[in-house]
């Protein structure tokens, strides 16, 4: 069996010199250009970075541009819906969501007909955004015409439990819109590769990038990663897009033979069938003892 699809990811230039609505307008213009550029290769799914047009706005302005979801008449959702319909492609994009008196760092899926499919509210907030955003508490998987799609955002990469939950729900692809900084040079890429291998699905991660790229900055490298942990497409440290044709039924074939091969033809059957959920109970307990906490962590602070 074969399910070949073309996946695309975007790396967007982040500008500190643009302020408030100037920044918003620049990012929306860039997003539009990248989507239409990528559309020339006729992708089935394009993923844009985390909260890309709202990230640098002040609280006052962010409150004003936040959108209720779904609201296909709201500026960003309307723009993305029109583009998705025009280029006949599913799109995942990040924005600030307003829900009652709360705000969420959210991602929205629009199908290739321009219709709303669903949303994901970021569950694991990084410390620097807790002042503004509330944390989500659901881990959904969505049905698209190309397969089942899960979504995570940035900091979620460090919590493998939620990635396994999506995989158990049948996610073929997990989108990872983000705006992270890689202070080691390979931390982010290594974690993405590990998530793809552990769960035997495809990951489309989409980043922001600063130019020129320097260590500790927004680093780009929006990638498409397969279940082997291999990069199928990569934007590098540059703004732009990358795309690749993948087969969603192509996972890592297990190397055993005989009866074991019949039972475990791929690593996905092996990994998932051999789980021991009855032993994982402590993962769901409130951690009051914090036995993991270092007593004397080494912290280097400049004088």
Q: What amino acid positions are annotated as catalytic residues?
A: 50, 122, 154
Distance CA 120, CA 123 (A): 9
Q: Is 15 in contact with 26 (CB distance < 8 Å)? A: yes
Joined tokens for residue 111: 């199908």
E strands, the chain, are 4-13, 45-47, 90-99, 102-110, 116-121, 141-144, 147-151, 173-177, 202-206, 208-209, 223-225, 231-234, 240-247
Q: How far is CA 270 from the centre of its chain?
A: 26
Q: Are 21 and 54 in contact (CB under 8 A)?
A: no
Tokens of 200: 């035997």
Report the distance separating Cα 130 and Cα 115, nearest Å.
Answer: 31
CA dist 46 and 67 (Å) reads 21
**Separation between Cα atoms, residue 106 and residue 102, nearest integer Å:** 12
41: CB partners within 8 A, 6+ apart: 6, 8, 243
Distance set, CA 271 to CA 72, 148, 164 (Å)? 40, 19, 11
Alpha carbon 44 to its chain's center: 16
């Amino acid at each position: 069996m074969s399910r070949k699809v073309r996946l695309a990811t975007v790396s967007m230039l982040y500008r500190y010199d643009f302020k408030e609505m100037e920044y918003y307008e620049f990012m929306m213009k860039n997003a539009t250009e990248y989507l239409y550029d990528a559309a020339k290769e006729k992708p089935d799914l394009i993923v844009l970075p985390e909260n890309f047009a709202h990230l640098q706005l002040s609280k006052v302005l962010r409150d004003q541009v936040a959108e209720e979801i779904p609201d296909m008449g709201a500026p960003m959702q309307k723009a993305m819906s029109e583009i998705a319909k025009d280029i006949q492609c599913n799109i995942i994009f990040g924005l600030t969501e307003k829900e009652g008196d709360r705000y969420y760092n959210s991602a929205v899926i629009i199908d290739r007909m321009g219709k709303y499919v669903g949303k994901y509210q970021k569950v694991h907030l990084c410390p620097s955004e807790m002042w503004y955003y509330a944390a989500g508490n659901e881990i959904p998987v969505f049905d698209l015409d190309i397969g089942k799609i899960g979504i995570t955002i940035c900091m979620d990469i460090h919590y493998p439990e939620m990635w396994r939950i999506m995989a158990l729900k049948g996610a073929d692809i997990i989108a990872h819109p983000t705006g992270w900084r890689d202070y080691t040079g390979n931390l982010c890429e290594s974690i993405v590769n590990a998530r793809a291998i552990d769960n035997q699905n495809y990951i489309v991660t989409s980043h922001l990038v600063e130019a020129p790229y320097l260590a500790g900055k927004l680093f780009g490298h929006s990638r498409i990663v397969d279940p082997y942990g291999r990069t199928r497409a990569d934007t590098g440290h540059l703004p732009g897009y990358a795309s690749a044709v993948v087969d969603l039924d192509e996972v890592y074939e297990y190397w055993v033979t005989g009866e074991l091969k019949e039972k475990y033809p791929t690593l996905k059957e092996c990994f998932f069938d051999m789980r021991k959920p009855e032993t994982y109970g402590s993962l769901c307990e409130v951690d009051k003892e914090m036995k993991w906490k270092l007593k004397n962590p080494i912290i280097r602070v400049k004088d």
